[in-house]
Amino acid sequence: MLDQIYTALEERYPKMVEIRRHLHMHPELSFQEVQTARYIANFYKNLGVEVRTEVGGNGVVATIKGSKPGPTVALRADFDALPIDDEKDVPYKSKVPGVMHACGHDGHTATLLVLGEVLHELKNELNGNFVLIHQHAEEYAPGGAASMIKDGCLDGVDVIFGTHLWATEPTGSIQYRTGPVMAAADRFEVTIKGSGGHGAQPHKTKDSVVIASQFIMNLQQIVSRRVNPIDSAVISVGNFEAKNAFNVIADSAKLIGTVRTFNENVRDQIENEIEKVLKGTCITADAEYEYLYDRGYPAVVNHKDETELLVKIAKEIPGVTSIEETEPQMGGEDFAYYLQHVKGTFFFTGAKADHVTKPYPHHHPRFDFDENAMLVAAKALTRVAFAYQQEHAALESVK
């Protein structure tokens, strides 16, 4: 049956590309994906597939019920875009100014839609059920996963698998990791309140720019001197604003940054340490401050058995040329929430064509990926899902 599915996927590859390019030309930002959600829902409705809409917001969930008993496997794809101008010179360039699919979510969606079509056509031969989760708002916290889970997208699900097209790795490669694979992603915001004045008379001011600069330097000691070196962590300030004329010392400065961690204890520690450093810096300068810390997605922590299952069968997948353990990634992903509720694994599918020597990274205005990788991803999701169903159906028969 697997060969039958692989053949059907290959025959529908042009359709997969067509869907991906349509979505690429009509991107929608997180929490605004009304037309995209409608497109996905109509795709399944036209096939006669059971579908729920407005799941936890703009989410869409399709269910394909096999005729034979077996576990229920969930597969997930996200479909939101980013606030970036598309600078590629391609026929399928975004038609929406300032918005583009710069992370591969259009490819994830096209992959799962066509896979869903094939599974639906073969439902009478399926051992178990498939829940196809099309998730909105992955790019922007609080994300769509948590609200979709609350709205029941995982009800009755035994396991979940997901993949991310990875444009910096060769097409045909699969990257996996047991345990933490992507970091918790938090946001902090600091406002330092000094006392402004004339640029020629700094002694009569409390220079918020200097104080903020000192705070940024002091901040670097948290990871290097307060966090256990065995634990990975990142603190980065990405925005620094102090609006004034060139000859005016600003009375306030605003900083916005991100914290990335894998360990929840380290996450707690850094949240507290940032304020300690901030308070100490401001006391020294006789300034005041405001501090906000927003927790984003938790770390993506893959389950051992499901990850090992992927590794075991990966080289049997047509189109897969290599499988390797990846280093933990400091990027965030709200797939983490699914793995807190059911077992599963999240892996990367390489999407860099052979002729591309220096691929543009994810979230870049010229980002693109090798569309052949969608076919590899569809086959990988199919193979690991079937392997799980076969393994657990066998366990049930033993009981």
Per DSSP bridges, beta strands 252-261 and 184-193 are antiparallel
Residue 176, helix vs strand vs coil: strand
Would the CA dihedral through 230, 166, 112, 364 be positive or negative? positive
- Among candidate residues 28, 33, 78, 80, the one labeled active-site is 80
Q: Does the active-site annotation cover 286?
A: no
CA 246 centroid distance within chain: 40
Longest dimension (CA), the chain: 84
Would you call 138 a catalytic residue per the annotation? Answer: yes
Q: Which residues on adjacent β-strands are paired with residue 206?
A: 195
Q: How far is the C-alpha of 106 from the C-alpha of 4, rounded, in Å?
A: 25
Q: Are 235 and 277 in contact (CB under 8 A)?
A: no
In sequence order, the β-bridge partners of residue 50 are: 63
**Of residues 78, 138, 139, 251, which has the active-site annotation?**
138
Q: CA angle, corner 213, sides to 209 and 215, nearest 5? A: 120
Q: How far apart are CA 380 and CA 317, in angstroms?
A: 6
User: In a 3-state reduction of DSSP, which class is residue 241?
Assistant: strand
Catalytic positions are 80, 138
